[in-house]
Amino acid sequence: MRYLTKSKFNLSIECPTKLYYSSIIEYASLKESNEFLHALAEGGYQVAELAKCYYRDRDQDHDDLQGIDNEVALIKTSELLNKDSIIIFEAAIKYENLFLRADILVKRHNSIKLIEIKSKSYDISKPFIGKKGGIDSNWRPYLYDIAFQKYVLQKALPDKNIAAYLMLVDKSVICPTDGLNQKFKINKTESGGIKIIKSQNTTDEDLSVRLIKEFSVDDIIQKIFVDEKIYNGMSFDEFIKFISSFFSEDQKIPPILGSKCRDCEFKIVNEDQVIGLKSGFKECWREVAGFSEEDFKQPTVLDVWDLRSKDKLIPQGVYKMSQLTEEDINPAPDGDTGFSRRERQWIQIKKVKNNDDSVEMDKVGLQSEINNWVFPFHFIDFETTRVPIPFHKGHRPNHGIAFQFSHHILYENGVIEHAGQYINSQIGYHPNIDFVRELRKQLIVDNGTIFMYSNHENAFLNEICLEMLSSSEDISDKSDLLNFIKSITKSKNDSKEKWVGERCMVDLLEVVKRYYYDPLTNGSNSIKKVFPAILKRSEFLRKKYSRPIYGTVNGIKSLNFSNKAWLLEKDGIIVDPYSQLDPIFPDMNCSEDDLERLLDADQLKDGSGAMIAYARMQFTEMCDIERQAIVNALLRYCELDTLAMVMIVEAWLAILKKPNN
Ligand code: SF4
């Protein structure tokens, strides 16, 4: 029998049309093909294993049905539920065509505790309810998920009292032991699925503090059942019946287009990778917006940078960027130099409307910004991650880990060097202090301006600052490191202590947004889009980097490349430098573009290929050769990120004709 599972229900909450595409094998899906990467990014499997350990240790009888086929698990669950008292992991429950595997069921007499485990952190001071009294939108998908499970369980076992809980990472507690994280590993199966390597050796001390806790959600679920309108004015019950009937008849729920389509997993960017498969996205837009193949080549409202009115415009039939008017955007200045957000949006749209692919630049504004910068310029980029189960005793869950940086210098005479880098690949090692120590060593040699791309570096150094302040560890150079961090950062808005460092880092992303727009980026300000665009545009860069000068004794010093010409042409088209690198995951059918979109769509804000690679080195079993290949790939990616920043600035200096060029 085909079941409407909880993952299909969750997809239907995002968009009911996805239910059909996810059920028909001919539709390519970005998510399904990358289950393993997703598991690494979320850390959910490890959290679930740790949660089970808390229950396994109880006196109560327990049984784990993980890995058992659904039909067999249904029979087993029904047998186990005949016992008066039992804990079941991965219990199988069905009602008509609705089906679920519950993370944990705890049965005592006539009562059942239904527990759903998530790797998301819960802050007890901020309940699931938002400011206006409704459900907090960040929690809505998780609450709907457990509401679906309670709904099915109540229908399947109407004579039982069901109490529902979310089991979430508690950020307020401290990990009691070292190395707990390493006791939970996952591996990839040959088919790309996930194989969990169960921990056999957790100690009483490991489990003495619960890092994951149960939070009752019955009241909120009641609110969802009674008050919430899930889709087109339908109640929860009506919505389940609605999707269930379409599902059982293999019918597609008619699509309603909206901003959600931007990150739809059925929108396949690289169609070469899915030959023979269909694009659900195209089918929806053909059906509703009447799009032809030609229309798909044109920019849509989904592409307008940071446009927050998409869900108002799309239902009015405004699909293409060329349909937008000045009134839709209201491009007013905001009082600061350079382009305001709305002005920048209108620049993007106007260029599409006028078929104008020239760069828009506020040269006066950019020049006055550059006049504040001090040579030599330092360009840094961090790679970081968070893990729900800490590596070390004394750390809180989801503690930030800074595991890699790259550092380029551009001198006033135009000389460039890849001056330094840091990477930790040691399993279970907490690198933050070494990371800052090495960064300080490389940056205190002069007083030049330091550049980052986005506020990420500032935010992470703030976090490490707090970590050191609360640490009881004996760090001999603690005050030097703290002073260094404060000298190059500004404090976070919610920080008790306020500061702006005398050498505070410049955010190049903000400079791009305020002063520079290139239509080749199609509205994206990601360095992965801005850099290849500027490389194509700049005569200076094209001339300089078409020669193999990168990684040479008399050219540009590099730590990971030799004799490299970055400006390569294939069939008359300039090859994106990022695509010239070896993939971080050669065994996976996933481009960096796909990976970023996949992670963005799931609000994993720190998501990046590097983060996943780090997780893979820490949480999966691999040999030294595989590990070294990942380290080499990471070093090259990070070096290219800081080189990209150098080249963006070089191109601007050339345009503005600074004397050093
Ligand atoms: S393209 Fe839009 S309407 Fe179609 S399935 Fe994806 S999100 Fe839903």
Q: How many A from CA of 632 to the centre of ligand 1?
A: 38
Does a structural domain hold residue 286? no
**At residue 384, does pLDDT exceed 80?**
yes
As a whole number, mean pLDDT of residues 630-655 equals 94
Lowest mean pLDDT among 61-75, 183-197, 619-633: 183-197
Lowest mean pLDDT among 9-13, 73-77, 97-101, 624-628: 624-628
**At residue 339, does pLDDT exceed 90?**
yes
Atom of ligand 1 nearest to the CA of 17: 5
Lowest mean pLDDT among 70-74, 387-391, 479-483: 387-391
Q: How many A from CA of 259 to the centre of ligand 1?
A: 9
Paired tokens of 315: 């239902």
Does a structural domain hold residue 390? yes
Q: How many A from CA of 350 to the centre of ligand 1?
A: 27
Atom of ligand 1 nearest to the CA of 16: 8
- Confidence class for position 346, pLDDT limits 50, 70, 90: very high
- Model confidence pLDDT, tens digit, residues 534-549: 999 999 999 999 999 9
Does a structural domain hold residue 272? no
Do 525 and 484 sit in the same domain of this protein? no
Atom of ligand 1 nearest to the CA of 256: 3
Do 503 and 538 sit in the same domain of this protein? no
Do 578 and 544 sit in the same domain of this protein? yes
- Confidence class for position 430, pLDDT limits 50, 70, 90: confident
Do 494 and 526 sit in the same domain of this protein? no
Atom of ligand 1 nearest to the CA of 21: 5
Residue nearest to atom 1 of ligand 1 (CA): 281
Do 491 and 554 sit in the same domain of this protein? no
As a whole number, mean pLDDT of residues 196-219 equals 85
Dihedral angle computed from the Cα positions of residues 498, 502, 507 and 511, in that order, rounded to the nearest 10 degrees: 120
Q: How many A from CA of 527 to the centre of ligand 1?
A: 27
pLDDT for residue 542: 95
Pocket lining: 281 vs ligand 1, CB cutoff 6 Å: yes
- Model confidence pLDDT, tens digit, residues 166-175: 999 998 899 9
Strand 212-216 relative to strand 399-410: parallel, antiparallel, unpaired?
Answer: unpaired
pLDDT for residue 591: 56
pLDDT for residue 606: 40
Residues in Cβ contact with 99 at an 8 Å cutoff, skipping those fewer than 6 apart = 3, 4, 5, 6, 70, 92, 93, 152
**At residue 565, does pLDDT exceed 90?**
yes
Decide if 550 contacts 556 (C-beta within 8 A).
Answer: yes
Q: How many A from CA of 315 to the centre of ligand 1?
A: 14
Does a structural domain hold residue 337? no
- Confidence class for position 179, pLDDT limits 50, 70, 90: confident
pLDDT for residue 317: 97
As a whole number, mean pLDDT of residues 229-258 equals 96
pLDDT for residue 596: 56
Percentage of the chain modeled with pLDDT above 70:
90
pLDDT for residue 603: 36
- Three-state SS for 590-645 is CCHHHHHHHHHHCCCCCCCHHHHHHHHHHHCCCCHHHHHHHHHHHHHHHHHHHHHH
Do 112 and 234 sit in the same domain of this protein? yes
Pocket lining: 252 vs ligand 1, CB cutoff 6 Å: no
Pocket lining: 257 vs ligand 1, CB cutoff 6 Å: yes
Q: Is the Cα dihedral 80, 83, 88, 93 positive or negative? A: positive
Q: How many A from CA of 416 to the centre of ligand 1?
A: 46
| Boundary-marking domain end, from 507, 537, 571 | 507
The preferred substitution site among 260, 285, 300, 310 for testing ligand 1, maximizing ligand atoms within 8 Å of CB, is 260
- Confidence class for position 387, pLDDT limits 50, 70, 90: confident
What's the CA gap between 143 and 233, in Å, rounded?
Answer: 19
User: What integer best gives the mean pLDDT of the chain?
Assistant: 90
What's the CA gap between 341 and 323, in Å, rounded?
Answer: 19
3-class SS of residue 97 = coil
Paired tokens of 490: 């500004």
Do 524 and 565 sit in the same domain of this protein? yes
Do 483 and 521 sit in the same domain of this protein? no
As a whole number, mean pLDDT of residues 381-396 equals 87
Does a structural domain hold residue 524? yes
Q: How many A from CA of 14 to the centre of ligand 1?
A: 9
Pocket lining: 18 vs ligand 1, CB cutoff 6 Å: yes
The preferred substitution site among 264, 268, 269, 282 for testing ligand 1, maximizing ligand atoms within 8 Å of CB, is 264
- Model confidence pLDDT, tens digit, residues 81-122: 999 999 999 999 999 999 999 999 999 999 999 999 998 888
As a whole number, mean pLDDT of residues 50-79 equals 89
Residue nearest to atom 7 of ligand 1 (CA): 261
This prediction has a pTM of 0.89
What's the CA gap between 334 and 339, in Å, rounded?
Answer: 8
**At residue 192, does pLDDT exceed 60?**
no
For residue 197, list its beta bridge partners. Answer: 185
- Model confidence pLDDT, tens digit, residues 125-174: 667 888 777 889 989 999 999 999 999 999 999 999 999 999 999 988 99
Paired tokens of 403: 């595991």
Paired tokens of 120: 């998301």
- Three-state SS for 164-183 is EEEEEEECCCCCCCCCCHHH
**At residue 516, does pLDDT exceed 90?**
yes
pLDDT for residue 587: 59
Does a structural domain hold residue 590? yes
Pocket lining: 94 vs ligand 1, CB cutoff 6 Å: no
Q: How many A from CA of 287 to the centre of ligand 1?
A: 11
Pocket lining: 264 vs ligand 1, CB cutoff 6 Å: yes
pLDDT for residue 353: 97
pLDDT for residue 605: 36
**At residue 607, does pLDDT exceed 50?**
no
As a whole number, mean pLDDT of residues 248-264 equals 96
Do 526 and 429 sit in the same domain of this protein? no
**At residue 428, does pLDDT exceed 90?**
no
| Boundary-marking domain end, from 244, 268, 293 | 244
Q: How many A from CA of 280 to the centre of ligand 1?
A: 7
Paired tokens of 122: 């819960």
Atom of ligand 1 nearest to the CA of 257: 3
Q: Which of 422, 414, 429, 383 is nearest to 560 (CA)?
A: 422
| Boundary-marking domain end, from 227, 244, 261 | 244
- Model confidence pLDDT, tens digit, residues 637-649: 999 999 999 999 9
- Confidence class for position 602, pLDDT limits 50, 70, 90: very low
Alpha helices in 182-325 (DSSP H): 218-226, 236-248, 280-289, 293-296, 310-313
Residue 608's identity, in one-letter code, is S
Q: How many A from CA of 257 to the centre of ligand 1?
A: 6
Backbone dihedral angles phi then psi of residue 332, each to the nearest 5 degrees: -90, 150
Q: pLDDT: is 406 or 609 the higher one?
A: 406
3-class SS of residue 43 = coil
Do 463 and 525 sit in the same domain of this protein? no
Paired tokens of 506: 């410049």
Atom of ligand 1 nearest to the CA of 266: 6
Do 492 and 568 sit in the same domain of this protein? no
Does a structural domain hold residue 289? no
pLDDT for residue 63: 94
Q: How many A from CA of 284 to the centre of ligand 1?
A: 6
- Model confidence pLDDT, tens digit, residues 14-59: 999 999 999 998 998 877 656 666 666 667 778 888 998 898 866 6
Q: Which of 54, 472, 29, 471 is nearest to 263 (CA)?
A: 29
Does a structural domain hold residue 398? yes
As a whole number, mean pLDDT of residues 69-74 equals 96
- Model confidence pLDDT, tens digit, residues 26-37: 998 877 656 666
Into how many domains does the chain fold?
3
Paired tokens of 38: 């997703």
What's the CA gap between 400 and 396, in Å, rounded?
Answer: 9
As a whole number, mean pLDDT of residues 524-536 equals 93
Lowest mean pLDDT among 237-246, 265-274, 606-615, 640-649: 606-615
pLDDT for residue 650: 97
Do 384 and 450 sit in the same domain of this protein? yes
pLDDT for residue 395: 86
Q: Give the residue numbers spanning the domain of 139.
A: 6-244
Residue with tokens 């600052």: 465
What's the CA gap between 380 and 387, in Å, rounded?
Answer: 23
